[in-house]
Structure 1
Amino acid sequence: MEEEEEQQKHEQASACDSNGTPIHVLAVDDCFVDRKIVGKLLEKASFKVTSADSGKKALEILGFSQDKVEKSSYNDQKIDIILTDYCMPEMNGYDLLMAVKGNSNVKSIPVVIISSEYDPQRISRCLANGAEDFLRKPLQHKDLQKLRSYVKPSAPVPKTGTKRKVMLELIPESGTAETRPRIAGVAVA
């Protein structure tokens, strides 16, 4: 029981960005049941989910109107990743991918395509045109970690192990090393 709780806490923490905000997924699928299953799986893993029943509806959520993106609309949603079904009427997952990657305001959003059909040509075409991944339906628990890894950090992560610069006035003019006093067992470098 404790192991399950620990696993759940780890998943919840890793479903957040570097600021602790839940990763926001735009889940696009024309099938109501598939949309609900994916939504529940993502929510259980602490993702924030917005659902759309078509590629056109997804574009509206992203702020597209008359072939342009309204920044204010997109910024209100702050979508971190798009998870879209491939086979949908009117606008399939590939068309949605091309619309997103063709717009400078939203092209940095990772797009992952899912499908129950395994078509190597379709898969390679999507990957060659900017899809992060092409996953098989039904979405599995192990796929959630992949989704997390595709999300770009929202703020730059500080580098560790970098050299610090020393102000010139702190370096003695003699060029020789000075000994510094130690304070109660604390070494001062």
Structure 2
Amino acid sequence: MKKAVTIFILIISFLIIYFLQANFFSWFTIAGVKPNIFIIFILFISLYSGMKPGIIFGILCGLFLDIIIGKSLGISAIMLGIIGAIGGYFDKNFSKESKLTIILMVIGSTCVFEIGSYILQTIQLSIYVEIMPFTIKLLIEIFYNIFITIIIYPILQALGYRIEDIFKENKVLTRYF
């Protein structure tokens, strides 16, 4: 029951983030670039709930984004699924205690998402490759994502430990012989 309530809360959180991304952050752009909070959200889910829920939630959120605002179906789903897998890998191999580690994870995830999306869009939509404008957009988005991560890190960490307790139940059985 706790997992179902948590998943419902995560879905509501995703919808709130979607409306923030679409409406609020469109006022605060630099060179037409706004932060991609979905990367932070999926990374957060996979860091605290594990690889499998992170991948599933990333793919489902990506499909929703592709259907609502995407130019083509599947690119965001694939890339957010990859971010979920990366977050699951980071969960097993790195500490979530350090703010610097989380910031480096956000930088890496943003780079993977944007570069992968750009490559897939170039292949699928046959667009011309422009390296310099893409690099500028990537750097601005990384800056934005870092800034937002620094601001909301304490909230994410507190909520993350609650999610971790629900999704990663201690399955160790002790027996005394």
Query: Normalising by the residue count of structure 1, what TM-score does the alignment of the two structures yield?
Result: 0.29
Larger radius of gyration: 1
Higher relative contact order (CA 8 A, sep 6+): 2
Higher strand share: 1
Higher helix share: 2
